[in-house]
Amino acid sequence: MPKPKKLIVVGDRVLIVPGEGEERTNVGLYLPPTAVDHQAVQGGRIVATGPGTPLPDPGSLDDEPWKIHATASASRFVPMQARIGDYALFFRKAAVEITYEGDKYLVVPQAAILVLVRGPDPLEELIESSGDAS
């Protein structure tokens, strides 16, 4: 039985499911008309993140870089600030659109993200609050 395909995000990039272009995002952020008109800013839900920005191995910074070191250290990364499930508002020009198994995604470098909204999904909160009223 073949292994299922898996989409892996590398480096300091995030994979985003784009939201609809509207004046107010679904998490309550208001976008100025110039941002909406020119598509300068877009929002979406983060579905995957890369490991972060790789750091050089401190042992490789000695005077003789051609030497082979006996101990191979594990890769280290500057951790990502973005997390799976966050809503991200980012610069549209920095995003690269891809299609994977029929679904459209945006690959965005973490540096292009302006803000992150973290916490419970606003739609879940709305459903829970309407259920409490009855």
pLDDT tens column, 3-38 = 888 889 999 999 999 986 555 555 566 666 555 555
Range of lowest pLDDT (5-9, 60-64, 80-84, 125-129)? 125-129
103 torsion bin: left (phi>0), alpha (psi -120 to 50), beta (else)? beta
**Residue 122: partners with Cβ closer than 8 Å, 6 or more residues away:** 26, 27, 28
pLDDT at 3: 80
- Helix H or strand E segment including 127: helix 122-132
Distances (CA, A) of 18 to 4, 61, 110, 112, 125: 24, 41, 15, 14, 21
- Residues 99-118: pLDDT tens digits? 999 999 999 999 999 999 99
* Spatial distance between the Cα atoms of 3 and 49, rounded to a whole number of angstroms: 22
* Residue-range domains of the chain with CATH: 13-54+76-132 (2.30.33.40)
**Cβ density class 109-134: b for 16+ within 10 Å, e for less:** bbeebeebbeeeeeeeeeeeeeeeee
pTM of the model: 0.67
